[in-house]
Structure 1
Amino acid sequence: MIVTNSYKKRYKWILSAILIGLICTIILAISLGYSSVSIDRLIPTILGQGSFKDEFVLFSIRLPRMIITLLAGVGLALSGAILQGVTKNDLADPGIIGINAGAGVAITLFYLFYPLDTGIFVFLLPIIAFFGAMITALLIYAFSYERKRGIQPSKLILTGIGFSMALSGLMIVLISSSESQKVDFIARWLAGNIWGYDWSLILSILPWFLILIPFILYKAHQLNVLGLSEQVTIGVGVPLQKERTYLLMAAVAIAAVSVSVTGGVAFVGLMAPHIARALVGPRHQYFLPVAMLLGGWLLLVADTIGRNVLEPDGIPAGIVVSLIGAPYFIYLLLKNSRM
């Protein structure tokens, strides 16, 4: 694909527009809500000249939650983009095909049966979620694989949906006889309620993002090639199965780490890559950065809306995203069935 100067200019304008929208949403998210910092007090508070209340709300509540939300949105968008590229299926999403549910079951089991000090639990959380998601991904792969035909994208999606429903049901069974406090946490997780308000949570997931995001962006060229037919991919010297394995592991890992702190959020990984592809085309060097920003922006908008609809508890961001994402998923399903 030849990238012209006009295309690059358009790409920069799109990135700039998304960044401006993201900054505006961040300002609104800080200034709205049960506890908020007014816009005119925002700069003085950042500079250390705000009241104790403003500084507490900004640095102890709003900023940690927003950073966690943005990172999770970025991770889910990247995971969805990889899954769609590797499986060549527009309906692939870590929430829809059961990866998020696998992470959730692992977190539920650990939280209910292996109680630990909160500080240790926070840092173990991404690791637990990763192993749960990876085991689920391997099972989905095994059930979707056919010896003569390999992985069938439609079978992968249907198998993943089945696993997602079964694992969500298992979580409900596990919490049905548990203590009310633990039940509340898992129920909030299932609903996609962003529960992270602590800087320690950011420290626990940040190393994963610092490793996985550069790796995924580095593999953008391989994702372009994997979008071609298998014969062409092998013909240009790309080790097909090896690259698929590396990319799928990265997709599972970044999705698991993301949902470990946000709960069962689906559809971000479906919508953000689709919108990005429509804006800048399928070339992953340009498409992935746009998808990342859109994923973070989409989840932040959903969380901001959810927090302010019903105060003080609000509506979980996962439910807000699902209200938008479910109709979009049905639209894509109908569109693909006609092709």
Structure 2
Amino acid sequence: MIHPDLIKKQRWLLLAFFILIVTTAFISIGLGYSSISYNRLLPTLFGEGSFKEEFILFSIRLPRIIITILAGMALALSGSILQGMTRNDLADPGIIGINSGAGVAIAIFFLFFPIDAGSFAYLLPVVAFGGALLTACLIYLFSYSKRNGIQPVRLILVGVGFSMALSGLMVILISSAERTKVDFIAKWLAGNIWGADWPFIWAILPWLVILIPYALYKSQMLNLLGLSEPVSVGVGVSINRERFMMLVVAVALAASAVSVTGGIAFIGLMAPHMAKAMVGPRNQLFIPIAILLGGWLLLLADTIGRNILQPDGIPAGIMIALIGAPYFMYLLLRRDGPHFSR
């Protein structure tokens, strides 16, 4: 049973992060190469702005902000699921190769298949999911042992190996491609929020509407998967089946996010850890907080990055990496060490 004080704390934190997201989004709208005066935001929002103000708000700023928040939420939830099912605090879709699998699939699709402008935005998440799922299945198969099933540490190590191999494949793919296409893939690799338009929002939104409630519904199952295997089996959990199902959910969330934001890592690593530090390790408590925290972190990184250097700015993926890489090292080096297997 969860203590009522923890539930109350969770609700206050959810409200606080929601307010933080709204506040950051409001500030972000008024910043940039082409700015909007803050006293003109509400009139413009209600259709009383000039053509320039409405174009900046509805065609540039608002879709970018929404897609950034949604992608951050998806990546944070994906990382939470991976950490729970692998019992490894270092699991992240960008670290264990899932993002790389999605990236290679997108690169192949972009370089070698005819692109229809009308369906491009909606096909990208599907293509990314196919590449990421294939990669995840290969990682799963190479990590599986008939005797011991899936070993969390082995899963992470195999994933890191696949990530390195797929990064090399990406270099080979773009080495002989056209300059314009190479530029697009380079921006994708850097984690540039490139899919900042309404069709990309409608493309990613159904994935989140379906998968976030499902993951929250399965949060108690993630608690059981986090226990030792004999205990999990003892309470009637089909470990391999549940792990595979949750792996598919994590892959779908990560693929839908990176298909429109590019190769962004560390959100799925940091957000769950920060949420656990606030309310503890129970999945039904920290996952909702991690979702909002992930959305806010990516929005903050993108807002800072695009306003440091004008007009192009610094990609959000690089800004997150500047924070996430030291945090990753901290987790590796802290005295009690990360929990590779609970």
TM-score (norm 2): 0.95
What is aligned with 2:129? 130
**Aligned pairs for 1:313-328 within 5 A:** 313-328=312-327
How far off its partner does 1:112 sit?
0.2
Letter of the 2:301 partner, please give it. Answer: A
Of 109-118 and 150-159, deviating more is: 150-159
Structure 1 segments, 4+ long, off by >4 Å, are 336-339
Uncovered stretches (5+) of structure 1, i.e. residues with no partner = none
Cα distance in 1, alignment partners of residues 160 and 234 from structure 2: 34
Letter of the 1:150 partner, please give it. Answer: G
Of 87-96 and 171-180, deviating more is: 171-180
How far off its partner does 1:337 sit?
5.0
What is aligned with 1:213? 212
Cα distance in 2, alignment partners of residues 158 and 242 from structure 1: 21
Cα distance in 2, alignment partners of residues 158 and 224 from structure 1: 23
What is aligned with 1:333? 332
- CA deviations over 1:253-275 (Å, ceiling 9, x no partner): 11011100000000000000000
Letter of the 2:210 partner, please give it. Answer: I
What is aligned with 1:56? 55
How far off its partner does 1:153 sit?
2.2
Query: What is the CA RMSD across the aligned residues, in angstroms?
Result: 1.4
SS for the counterpart of 1:196 is coil
- CA deviations over 1:166-196 (Å, ceiling 9, x no partner): 2112112111111111011000000000101
Letter of the 1:139 partner, please give it. Answer: L
Cα distance in 1, alignment partners of residues 337 and 45 from structure 2: 52
Contact 2:93 2:265 in 1 (8 A): yes
Of 47-56 and 123-132, deviating more is: 47-56
**Aligned pairs for 1:1-339 within 5 A:** 2-335=1-334, 337=337
How far off its partner does 1:338 sit?
7.9
Cα distance in 2, alignment partners of residues 275 and 337 from structure 1: 16
How far off its partner does 1:57 sit?
0.6
SS for the counterpart of 2:118 is helix
Cα distance in 2, alignment partners of residues 66 and 147 from structure 1: 46
Cα distance in 2, alignment partners of residues 68 and 94 from structure 1: 18
How far off its partner does 1:8 sit?
2.3
Cα distance in 2, alignment partners of residues 200 and 211 from structure 1: 18
Cα distance in 2, alignment partners of residues 151 and 4 from structure 1: 33
Cα distance in 2, alignment partners of residues 255 and 301 from structure 1: 19
How far off its partner does 1:209 sit?
1.2
Letter of the 2:198 partner, please give it. Answer: W
Letter of the 2:268 partner, please give it. Answer: G
Letter of the 2:163 partner, please give it. Answer: S
How far off its partner does 1:121 sit?
1.6
SS for the counterpart of 2:133 is helix
Count of aligned positions: 338
Letter of the 1:327 partner, please give it. Answer: P
How far off its partner does 1:144 sit?
2.1
- CA deviations over 1:182-236 (Å, ceiling 9, x no partner): 0110000000001012111111111111111111111111111111122222222
